[in-house]
Chain A
Amino acid sequence: MFINRGVAVTAMDSMVEAAIWFWIPLILVPIGIWLAVSGKAKNLGKILSVTGFILVLISSWTVPSSDSTAAGHLLLSIMAPSLLLAYGIHGMIFGGNVPVGKLDNTARWSGALAVIISIVIFCLMHWYSFTPLWRNGEVNPYWIVFWPTFLLFSTSLCSVASFALITFGDDRFSESIKLASLSVVMTGVALAAIVFDGYLTTAEEFRDYLWLAAADIIGTVVGIMMAIGAFAIVIWTYEKSLPPPKNSLPPSDEEIKHVVELAASHIGGEEE
């Protein structure tokens, strides 16, 4: 029987390709983290999550036909400044006065420099030619989602942190001013993006997405709070349905004697 190889080898459907190269690896990341954190299979969990994450990052090459892979491409594009930001924050925290794991004093300055450079790189991704490009030289559609969300949320969180230090902290005014300044700087960057066109995106587009970013942030926070609320109700309802625990019997004389002996054997030393 003659078998035409060209017919036998069927091309994979684009949806199946997207499932294999993007969605399944994406699902593997939280499963791997769960396995690693739960301690049920630490090494397997780490391997799964790292492999899944790498496959998501390179998905724009493995399955270029899928629109979803633009997210993987964006994550890869922002990887370098994000790692620089994390390195900088680590250096700034542990280069200061910490009781354990203290780094060299210069780590604080190099960390601050790394944080500034990372934010400058993000700005250059908007106002210079570093903008992540996806298919056919077009701007990655998720860049205009990421950038306003990052600016709005960091402005908001820095403001919260600043007020929290004053409200709950003791003599933390100078630290609060520094955080308020950072919030103002991030607001300034957002204002600049509102007014001035980016390298490949317009100020009008940014203003449009600013609304969507605000809706996204508020919606996500509300959704997460609702899920936590549902979780609390489920646990509370179950715990309420349990019978009250029975009181245990008081210790016998023999048990008390044993405890006293144990305590006595651990108390001692010479008086000064």
Chain B
Amino acid sequence: MSKPNASWKILGLAAILPILVLVAIDVSLGDDIHPESFKRFGNAVLTSYVLMGIVLMGNLFFYADSRHRPLAPFVGMMSAVGVGILISWSLVSFDDLLLEANSGMRAQMLSNIVHLLVSGTAMLLASILALGMTFATITGRKRRVLFEEEE
């Protein structure tokens, strides 16, 4: 019997390996790490955290319906999102830490949202392709007879 932890590690490796291979080929062609990579990573983390937090805050309304509408989880999630916004604001406005090719903090934050819209669409489309093909290969197999009575 396979160990569940080992399986998850293999899946993690399967996810990261193709990206690492392509980036390694990129490096082998003589390209250095893009200087803006860290900024992009930081902006992506903070923007997706805040936007996902807002989406989950909307989800709390469904949760509240089954719990006599408590205020505490809503306030908690508001605080979590607020901390995210505060960190984004401070890091973007701090010198040149997360500021990309934009004129100022507001332009950077709006640019982050639009950037996430585009990269999110790319990831959604890739997910449709990968998950769809997974189901297509599964349903493409001829029906297996499990019991003789099925004939």
Size of the B side of the interface (Cβ < 8 Å), in residues, is 80
With a CB–CB cut-off of 8 A, which chain A residues contact B145? none
In the complex the two chains form, what is the Cα distance from A23 to B117 in whole Å?
Answer: 12
Determine if A156 and B56 form an interchain contact, defined as CB atoms under 8 angstroms apart. no
Q: Which residue of A lies closest to B65 (CB)?
A: A38
Q: Which residue of B lies closest to A162 (CB)?
A: B14
With a CB–CB cut-off of 8 A, which chain A residues contact B77? 230-231, 234
Of A86, A156, A179, A207, the contact of B26 (CB 8 Å cutoff) = A207
With a CB–CB cut-off of 8 A, which chain A residues contact B147? none
Distance in Å: Cβ of B140 to nearest Cβ of chain A: 5
Determine if B44 and A238 form an interchain contact, defined as CB atoms under 8 angstroms apart. no
Determine if B23 and A154 form an interchain contact, defined as CB atoms under 8 angstroms apart. no
Q: CB of A64 within 8 A of chain B?
A: no
In the complex the two chains form, what is the Cα distance from A115 to B58 in whole Å?
Answer: 35
Determine if A167 and B114 form an interchain contact, defined as CB atoms under 8 angstroms apart. no
In the complex the two chains form, what is the Cα distance from A184 to B2 in whole Å?
Answer: 26
With a CB–CB cut-off of 8 A, which chain A residues contact B143? 97
Among A115, A174, A230: residue with most chain B CB under 10 A: A230
Q: CB of B86 within 8 A of chain A?
A: no
Distance in Å: Cβ of A39 to nearest Cβ of chain B: 10
Distance in Å: Cβ of A90 to nearest Cβ of chain B: 8
With a CB–CB cut-off of 8 A, which chain B residues contact A213? 119
In the complex the two chains form, what is the Cα distance from A12 to B87 in whole Å?
Answer: 33
With a CB–CB cut-off of 8 A, which chain B residues contact A26? 117
Distance in Å: Cβ of A191 to nearest Cβ of chain B: 7
Of A147, A208, A230, the contact of B34 (CB 8 Å cutoff) = A208
Given A111-B136, A220-B116; A227-B128 close (CB under 8 Å): no
Q: Which residue of B lies closest to A91 (CB)?
A: B136
Of A164, A194, A221, A227, the contact of B11 (CB 8 Å cutoff) = A164
User: Size class of A's contact patch?
Assistant: 35 or more
With a CB–CB cut-off of 8 A, which chain B residues contact A92? 132-133, 136, 139-140
Of B14, B37, B42, B130, the contact of A211 (CB 8 Å cutoff) = B37
In the complex the two chains form, what is the Cα distance from A165 to B53 in whole Å?
Answer: 31
Q: CB of A113 within 8 A of chain B?
A: no
Q: CB of A127 within 8 A of chain B?
A: no
Of A38, A89, A150, A221, the contact of B126 (CB 8 Å cutoff) = A150
With a CB–CB cut-off of 8 A, which chain A residues contact B37? 211-212, 214-215
Q: Which residue of B lies closest to A235 (CB)?
A: B73
Per-residue CB contact flags for chain B residues 19-61 toward chain A (1 = under 8 Å, else 0) read 1011101100101011011101111111111101101101101
Determine if B53 and A231 form an interchain contact, defined as CB atoms under 8 angstroms apart. yes
Given A111-B136, A158-B133, A223-B47; A215-B40 close (CB under 8 Å): yes
In the complex the two chains form, what is the Cα distance from A219 to B40 in whole Å?
Answer: 8
With a CB–CB cut-off of 8 A, which chain A residues contact B52? 223-224, 227-228
Q: CB of A60 within 8 A of chain B?
A: no
Q: CB of B131 within 8 A of chain A?
A: yes
Determine if A215 and B41 form an interchain contact, defined as CB atoms under 8 angstroms apart. yes
The 6 A-B pairs at the shortest CB distance, nearest first, are namely A219-B44, A223-B48, A96-B139, A89-B132, A157-B130, A227-B52
Q: 12 other contacts beyond A187-B22, A227-B52, A231-B80, with CB at 8 A cut-off?
A: A90-B132, A92-B136, A93-B132, A154-B130, A156-B16, A158-B130, A167-B2, A167-B11, A214-B37, A217-B123, A231-B56, A238-B76
Which B residues fall within an 8 A CB radius of A?
Answer: 2, 7, 10-11, 14-19, 21-23, 25-26, 29, 31, 33-34, 36-38, 40-50, 52-53, 55-56, 58-59, 61-63, 70, 72-73, 76-77, 80, 84, 110-111, 114-123, 125-143
* Pairs A–B under 8 Å by Cβ, sample size 18: A26-B117, A75-B121, A85-B128, A89-B136, A97-B140, A97-B141, A152-B22, A160-B14, A167-B2, A183-B18, A204-B31, A207-B26, A207-B29, A212-B37, A213-B119, A223-B46, A224-B49, A234-B73
